[in-house]
A and B are shown apart, each in its own frame.
Chain A
């Protein structure tokens, strides 16, 4: 019978399949950060249990670390970071702590280190774990109780998710990015369109993407409500992985390649659902509301809730416009911003920073706009500095920070003030996400960079973004 990538990974990892119960699935890699793990470790201790496979676990500090030099001044954040350090020491889990040199956002460092590999099952107490699916892994976010479960058993009881093929057909126009592809798809699919499903992204427009861009796509699978997102591994995947610290070498590398080449879905495999999006007419996207499905073209206008037929969606749109301080019919390009954030597990890898730097080179951030670049990891930061990207950003008036989740969720000091409007390369425009009363618009790194220069949303494909 023809199989999907999901079928193959799932079947390889079933430890037990008791009748009428969820399957017990083996977890190849457990990623850990400071925010969702302390209660899990405490639960282990209370139950007298231990960590079954510390060598399949990896921890980092990312969510609430400050991105400016200096100590952690917030006592609660400090206590949480210290708890992670103690827990990792007690249970023998490798910790990539602040200052290690390879620390960073958990979904950036996993691929960078090469611990994220095709065919694996990967979990983390973080919904953007779907990022790792870009390598042809089954990777999904879990809650703290499940973190504890994996620590204790290296397994998780899981109901087999349904599969959905999301086909990106057509050729991506110049200046339109992976971020626009996924925002455009979520705009059509909706924030609940993927619930219960693992999305497999296919099509020529996916095959043409770099690994960094594929990670951007898979990262936002959860914003369509999906359990996970994945892309079949190919030569692009293998080229990215070869030579990474945890990648196999020599004969083991050849064996791994043989294995990974057999993972892709069969051409005639059946999916539980299909979704098709033609990217040839796609334009740069900007969100206007408080969920990622509330998105339009940067060349478009703020929509009118009255035009929506679903009463729930209409009410949500009205509330969103009120929160966002926007009027229906406003040209997106007439909306000014106070802040620009380039960062997060969605868009803080080296390619993202290169793309943004190319837009700002030789220009200046608009008067009154405060703009921030937060590399996704210490390694990305180092590489960017070697390439001189930090100098380009600083010369243009951007702040250049240390790695972390930063203003994506504002657990550290990087937050929006009440009423401030931000062009952000992150993944969630929920109310208060970047700070109470803050107004977030999700965009690509190119659009964020062009907006920082212009002071308002602007089509990054147009050359005239100089002030």
Chain B
């Protein structure tokens, strides 16, 4: 994972509640065995009609949303299915930060694991940010200082889990981090032999 310190870029707004990961990346694109190339399928059924033409009424199809790096979203964004493909698609499409009043738990973790920053802002604060952000306005998200500089220059502080912030700032590989506890894991395994051995079942 590459380190994330800050990003400056234009803002896109998708102010819908309870956007589920089935919308972010529909199931027909989950059959790929690669980790890359999901951006073109982001919000596929919302973005494109049955003939593959852009739907003019979909927020991200507005011309000023082209190239946006910061997505301002509604409450409970990324609820539903655990498909990490949703996070891959947002990142591959070009988003580096998603800001919302709340997130689905698994989705937020998936984003963290790939270095896509999720920021929770209270609804009222997010609303003022959205009001300042129309027309492809540019904002800055600074994870080091924990502030969003909105398009009119106001600084909006945000809270972030200190551990996640540390990992994101340093681009840490958290599997390597867990493996630093090798001795503890081995000791736990020795003390907890467990009751189930799947290999004892007759698989085919």
CB-based contact A96/B185 at 8 Å: no
Cβ-based interface call for A376 (8 A) = no
Residues of A within 8 A of B87 (CB): 143
Of the residues A24, A100, A191, A223, contact of B178 by C-beta under 8 Å: A24
A57 to B26, CA, bound (A): 28
CB-based contact B80/A418 at 8 Å: no
Cβ-based interface call for A207 (8 A) = no
Known: A145-B114, A153-B185, A157-B178. A21 touches B22 (CB 8 A): no
Residues of A within 8 A of B201 (CB): 58, 94, 113, 115, 245-246
Q: 1/0 per position for A39-81, CB-CB distance to B under 8 A?
A: 1001100010100011111100001100000000010110110
Known: A36-B84, A149-B178, A428-B80. A155 touches B185 (CB 8 A): yes
CB-based contact A409/B27 at 8 Å: yes
A110 to B184, CA, bound (A): 28
Interface size of A by Cβ–Cβ distance < 8 Å? 91
CB-based contact A146/B109 at 8 Å: yes
Cβ-based interface call for A383 (8 A) = no
Cβ-based interface call for A38 (8 A) = yes
A120 to B195, CA, bound (A): 10
Of the residues A95, A113, A433, contact of B22 by C-beta under 8 Å: A433
Which residues in chain A, 413-433, are within 8 Å of chain B measured between CB atoms? 418, 428, 430-433
Residues of A within 8 A of B79 (CB): 191-192, 225
Residues of A within 8 A of B104 (CB): 195, 225
Q: 1/0 per position for A1-40, CB-CB distance to B under 8 A?
A: 0000000000000011000111010101100000110110
A53 to B194, CA, bound (A): 12
Cβ-based interface call for B204 (8 A) = yes
Which residues in chain B, 159-185, are within 8 Å of chain A measured between CB atoms? 161-163, 174-175, 177-179, 181, 184-185
Cβ-based interface call for B20 (8 A) = yes
Of the stretches A312-320, A330-338, A450-458, the one at the interface is A312-320
Scoring A24, A83, A101, A319 by chain B CB atoms within 10 A of each residue's CB, the highest score goes to A24
Residues of A within 8 A of B20 (CB): 291, 428, 430
A43 to B196, CA, bound (A): 27
Instruction: Write the chain B residue with the least CB distance to A39.
Output: B35
Known: A149-B178, A196-B105. A15 touches B188 (CB 8 A): yes
Cβ-based interface call for A127 (8 A) = yes
Of the residues A77, A143, A319, contact of B84 by C-beta under 8 Å: A143
Residues of B within 8 A of A58 (CB): 198, 201, 203
Instruction: Write the chain B residue with the least CB distance to A84.
Output: B33
Cβ-based interface call for B74 (8 A) = yes
Q: 1/0 per position for B49-92, CB-CB distance to A under 8 A?
A: 01000000000000000000000001110011111110100000
Cβ-based interface call for A141 (8 A) = yes
Scoring B23, B109, B198 by chain A CB atoms within 10 A of each residue's CB, the highest score goes to B198
Of the residues B31, B45, B106, B194, contact of A64 by C-beta under 8 Å: B31
Cβ-based interface call for B142 (8 A) = no
Cβ-based interface call for B17 (8 A) = yes
Instruction: Write the chain A residue with the least CB distance to B20.
Output: A430
CB-based contact A149/B74 at 8 Å: no
Q: 1/0 per position for B110-124, CB-CB distance to A under 8 A?
A: 100110000000000
Cβ-based interface call for B10 (8 A) = no
A363 to B104, CA, bound (A): 43
CB-based contact A143/B109 at 8 Å: yes
Of the residues A97, A146, A246, A312, contact of B17 by C-beta under 8 Å: A312
CB-based contact B30/A225 at 8 Å: no
Instruction: Write the chain B residue with the least CB distance to A224.
Output: B79
Residues on A lying within 8 angstroms of B by beta carbon are: 15-16, 20-22, 24, 26, 28-29, 35-36, 38-39, 42-43, 47, 49, 53-58, 63-64, 74, 76-77, 79-80, 83, 92-97, 99-101, 113, 115, 117, 120, 125-127, 141-146, 148-149, 152-155, 157, 159, 191-192, 195-196, 222-223, 225, 227, 245-246, 248, 252, 256, 291, 312-313, 315-316, 319, 409-411, 418, 428, 430-433, 436-437
Excluding A56-B197, A77-B31, A252-B195, 14 further A-B contacts by CB distance (< 8 Å) are A15-B188, A35-B30, A79-B33, A80-B32, A83-B33, A115-B201, A143-B83, A143-B110, A143-B113, A154-B185, A157-B174, A319-B16, A430-B20, A433-B22
Residues on B lying within 8 angstroms of A by beta carbon are: 16-18, 20, 22-23, 26-28, 30-35, 45, 50, 74-76, 79-85, 87, 102, 104-106, 109-110, 113-114, 161-163, 174-175, 177-179, 181, 184-185, 188-189, 192, 194-201, 203-204
| 18 residue pairs bridging A and B, Cβ less than 8 Å apart | A15-B188, A24-B185, A35-B83, A42-B33, A47-B175, A143-B113, A145-B114, A146-B113, A153-B175, A155-B185, A191-B76, A225-B105, A227-B105, A315-B16, A316-B17, A319-B16, A411-B27, A432-B23
